[in-house]
Structure 1
Amino acid sequence: MSHLIIAPVLLPILTAILIMLPPVHSVPNRRRLVSIVSMALQFVLALVLLWQTQQQGLTFYALGDWQPPFGIILVADTLSVVLVCLTSFLALAAICYGSAGEDVRGSFFHPLFQFQVMGINGAFLTGDLFNLFVFFEVLLIASYGLLIHAGGKNKTKAAVHYVILNLTGSAVFLFSLAILYGSLGTLNIADMALRVASLPAEDLLLVQAGGSLLLIVFALKAAILPLQFWLPATYSAASPPVAALFAVMTKIGVYALLRVYTTIFGETAGPLSGLGMNWLWAFGLATILLGAIGVLGSQDFRKLVANLVIVSVGTLVCLVAMQNTAATAAVLYYTVHSTLVTGALFLLADLIATQRGKAGDRLVSGRRVAQPVLLGTLFFVAALSVAGLPPLSGFIGKLMILQSVVSTEQQLLLWSVVLLSSLMVLIGLARAGSTLFWRVSGSEAGGDKAAPLQIFAVSLLLVASPALVVFAGPLTELSVAAAVSLEDVQQAISIILPQAELSGGAK
């Protein structure tokens, strides 16, 4: 049993505690140094864990050596570890950007940031639904504090809506877990898959009800239509580094859908196989179109980027609903691409707004930015990538999506919606770019130039897009391997619950 699996959860906790101690907390530069070094170390450890997972296959960590299904376990497979790597990389860039001055606008920015990362990593690694709920609550509590970082009317209003909706979602989550535990006697994901496969007929409706409630919870977390209305206001109100980190938050809901409805309610689930996938497919298509319309109709750049997140979520949900290997592989590649690019756009929006004076990020005529060539180039690269144009990673992601469709009916629907939304996104970004950089009032440039650390953070995220193209071969192979591993439910059961699997079922 490798202790490395718990490092992405344990290291952020220890870092947050260290930052809150007087020798570090009293000096801003010390807080920044500790936080940045810790995030860099977390990313390196995540890469090592990914290499280890590639060598050994699926492994799990039993806390306190209490074996599953009774103990708390963390499960490391290719899918979960790649997403931990993504989170660490995104968080490293966001914390660098925040350390350029945004962090001093609130006393506990760095500890809350580390707790948020801990919750996200735990949600990706947990092998138990109740502990998924626990990690959701940890990351949500941290996000409540981060959302109102630096204060302000808009942030407070967005935070109230965000808190109320997520508390409602948490209550529904607990109800669904109670129903499933009462019916199955376990919340260990592998053990649940084993028991659902041999579920008595009289318990089918009860488990179906619990699984359907769980679908609603994850749909809220992922911001799927009609539960997406909280996202634009919340993400656009958040501080730039917080909004960048929030770019991965909706992907946790998508991951939970993929994990639960492939492992527990997948092909081995008998009558409950494919639970809710038809609904997920329809609402996913509608979410794509709604997000694209939001991109066209946005009156400020931050809300435009928030609607891009909705477009990416809808695309990923459609792929989850298809439940085939190629679609699952596309989910992983497109998740990495879309998260990094939208995270960069949230940071870039702040740089542009700062240099446009009173116009801010509103799509109206404003003062000329102080660094038009630099910021314009970064915007151009991000726009090409997020719109799915060659030669950047968005094009490969869209190609994988289109190639993953099996049936003619699904092909007609998904191809039409994805291509139409890509055109709408391209038009929306072209309008935003021309307004922000060409519709200039006055001859003087706007505010201060961006700090080197801020440019480094944005560039770090955007460099990932061409890197995803350069290494597209091995990365697509990695995505396919992750999809195959996720769909091999029997192998996961044999590793996590060997005696239960050999005896033909958990007793």
Structure 2
Amino acid sequence: MNWFSEHLPILPVLLPSITAIVLLLIGDHGGDAHGSHGHHKLLWARRIALASTVLGLVIAARLAIEAGHGELRVYKVGDWPAPFGILVLIDRLGALMLLLTACVALPVLWYATGGWDARGRYFHAIFQFQLMGLNGAFVTGDLFNLFVFFEVLLIASYVLMVHGQGRERFRVGVHYVVLNLAASALFLIGVALIYAKTGTLNLADLALRVPKVTAPESVVLQAAALVLLVVFGFKAALMPLAMWLPATYAASSAPVAALFALMTKVGVYAIVRVHGVVFGAGAGDAALTVEPVLLPLALITSALGVAGALAARTLPRLVAWLTVASVGTVLAGLGLFSAQAWSAALYYMLNSTLVTAGLFLLAELVGAQRGEAATRLVPASPVAQPALLGLMLLLAAASTAGLPPLPGFIGKLMILEAASHHAWHATVWSVVLGVGFLTLVGLARAGSILFWHVRDDLPAGAAAGASAKLVLATLALLAASVALSVLAAPVQRYTQAAAEQLTDRAAYARAALSEYGGERAETTRPYRSRPETPR
């Protein structure tokens, strides 16, 4: 194994962090780049950031290919053995999330170089720190380090959220920061409770130790699991913890809101890792602690999300509420607690993230051509490119609502099939199908106002808001969604294998704890065929 291959698992974290440091040293002054010197720095910052993000996409693709073969890549930082040292572990799910992050980040960054990055200071450095936090959360094998990467991506998001300034951004930004600080405090409380009863925070080690904690001590672990559900539910926008999201995303600039479409998926990922595996089936007295509440809350989230979209008065706020609705659908799949349902949820999550990010960019393209009305859903002057932008909105709407043969339809069909034998199957079917129909109604209403109910007494909007660079970046995200439909079979096989791999605690423990020895590493049978019992 060569040097590059040996250190490949840590590169998704190191690459953006090193890039961010280089950009800070160069001095990307963005909004201060009025002179030729400042403009020259901004050009170099753009080149370095784009090159780093392209390389990150290549690395993520290679890791996904390797993980697709069933290989668990473990990287021990400092060569300290687990569970004592910092562990990076990449399985199918982690690699899939890395690839999704890269596929969203590159078009969004390309879009931002169209002018948004020049409206504030150090945009590209903060963008790379955001990628570092996202990637780190997806590859860490330790619960405390998951908290650390949460804080990295949140601190970066605080700056990105107010990038370009504005009274509304600062007002919403204060609420966003305060609520996230409270969630971070709860995160530490949950981590402390788990450590107090298990003596470890390594996820593989926890998966083996939690089943051995019996009553009455297991009550503490159950309390910790519920506390962490509050934390992860807040990050994922699970009702009733999602009310902050629409205002925050709608107030952010288009590329920032598009990147933030990934942040809710960090919460979803954490729920899978912690509640689906560590506290999943076979976790002894603490098994499936959140099962009674996760599915109902997910369905409520989806229903209230689409209700908010129907009531939205601006296009960005409508898209933000649809983000909440899509998260509810994903979490509904996870709440079914089966490998088939998890596979369906992962597939649907890929599509919803790409389409939502594309819709945030598209909202700004449309608003830039509507004069003073901007993104408000009121009759205004006709846009300069109605055919192009209208078709893009139609494609995004069809996939979001779940019309065949687009991937939104495939993902929802997979979730419905997985729910067919569940006790809540009638409710799941009703909510998923009802939300899909109402999503179509909401987007059709918005499209008719934007492209049909126009005021002929006003001049057509300028086409400057839809330059080739901005359009291509938006199309790249929508095209990636279409590719999920074309490649549905291999992607489904991948998500199914990823879901099944999550239930195999033995393989995860062998990979993460093999050098530690002792009973933690003595796992010779697959978890799904014979669950471990407390000793």
What TM-score results when the alignment is normalised by the length of structure 1? 0.97
Which residue of 209, 226, 230 maps to 2:223? 209
Q: Using the alignment, how far apart are the partners of 2:410 and 2:425 within structure 1?
A: 17
The change in CA–CA distance for 1:186 and 1:408 in structure 2 (over 3 A counts) is closer
Match of 1:104? 118
Match of 1:219? 233
Q: Does 1:447 align with 2:465?
A: no
Q: Using the alignment, how far apart are the partners of 1:460 and 1:356 within structure 2?
A: 23
Identity of aligned residues (%): 46
Question: 1:37 deviation in Å?
Answer: 1.3
Match of 1:464? 480
Q: Deviations over 1:409-456 (max 9, x none)?
A: 321010000101111111000000000111112241113431211111
Match of 1:296? 310
Q: Deviations over 1:51-70 (max 9, x none)?
A: 12223511211101011100
Match of 1:22? 26
Q: Using the alignment, how far apart are the partners of 1:407 and 1:385 within structure 2?
A: 26
Match of 1:486? 502
Q: Does 1:40 align with 2:54?
A: yes
Other structure's SS at 2:459 match = strand
Q: Deviations over 1:447-473 (max 9, x none)?
A: 343121111110100101221111111
Q: Using the alignment, how far apart are the partners of 1:434 and 1:503 within structure 2?
A: 62
The change in CA–CA distance for 1:439 and 1:50 in structure 2 (over 3 A counts) is same
Counterparts of 1:398-409 in structure 2, within 5 Å, are 398-409=412-423
Which residue of 498, 515, 520 maps to 1:501? 520
Q: Does 1:374 align with 2:388?
A: yes
Moved more, 396-405 or 343-352: 396-405
Q: Does the CA contact (< 8 Å) of 1:103 and 1:110 recur in 2?
A: yes
Counterparts of 1:214-293 in structure 2, within 5 Å, are 214-293=228-307
- Aligned AA (1:481): A
Counterparts of 1:106-125 in structure 2, within 5 Å, are 106-125=120-139
Other structure's SS at 1:267 match = coil
Q: Using the alignment, how far apart are the partners of 1:421 and 1:168 within structure 2?
A: 31
User: For structure 2, which runs of at least 5 residues remain unmatched after alignment?
Assistant: 30-37, 524-531
Match of 2:9? 5
Other structure's SS at 2:165 match = coil
Q: Using the alignment, how far apart are the partners of 1:57 and 1:89 within structure 2?
A: 22
Q: How many residues align?
A: 507
- Aligned AA (1:446): G
Q: Does the CA contact (< 8 Å) of 1:387 and 1:394 recur in 2?
A: yes
Which residue of 340, 357, 360 maps to 1:326? 340
The change in CA–CA distance for 1:212 and 1:408 in structure 2 (over 3 A counts) is closer
Q: Using the alignment, how far apart are the partners of 1:107 and 1:435 within structure 2?
A: 36
The change in CA–CA distance for 1:150 and 1:24 in structure 2 (over 3 A counts) is closer
Q: Deviations over 1:2-44 (max 9, x none)?
A: 3111111000011111222237764221111111111111001
- Aligned AA (1:478): Y
Q: Using the alignment, how far apart are the partners of 1:375 and 1:54 within structure 2?
A: 36
Q: Does the CA contact (< 8 Å) of 2:509 and 2:521 recur in 1?
A: no
Q: Does 1:73 align with 2:87?
A: yes
Question: 1:202 deviation in Å?
Answer: 3.2
Q: Using the alignment, how far apart are the partners of 1:66 and 1:184 within structure 2?
A: 20
Match of 1:386? 400
Q: Using the alignment, how far apart are the partners of 1:408 and 1:51 within structure 2?
A: 33
Q: Does 1:335 align with 2:349?
A: yes
Q: Does the CA contact (< 8 Å) of 1:190 and 1:263 recur in 2?
A: no
Question: 1:406 deviation in Å?
Answer: 4.4
Q: Deviations over 1:359-386 (max 9, x none)?
A: 0111001111111111111111111111
The change in CA–CA distance for 1:201 and 1:98 in structure 2 (over 3 A counts) is same
Q: Does the CA contact (< 8 Å) of 2:205 and 2:520 recur in 1?
A: no
Moved more, 144-153 or 440-449: 440-449
User: For structure 1, which runs of at least 5 residues remain unmatched after alignment?
Assistant: none
Q: Using the alignment, how far apart are the partners of 1:373 and 1:232 within structure 2?
A: 28
- Aligned AA (1:279): V
Question: 1:193 deviation in Å?
Answer: 1.2
Which residue of 348, 360, 366 maps to 1:346? 360
Question: 1:501 deviation in Å?
Answer: 3.3
Q: Does the CA contact (< 8 Å) of 2:111 and 2:469 recur in 1?
A: yes
CA RMSD of aligned residues (A): 1.6
Q: Does the CA contact (< 8 Å) of 2:369 and 2:462 recur in 1?
A: yes
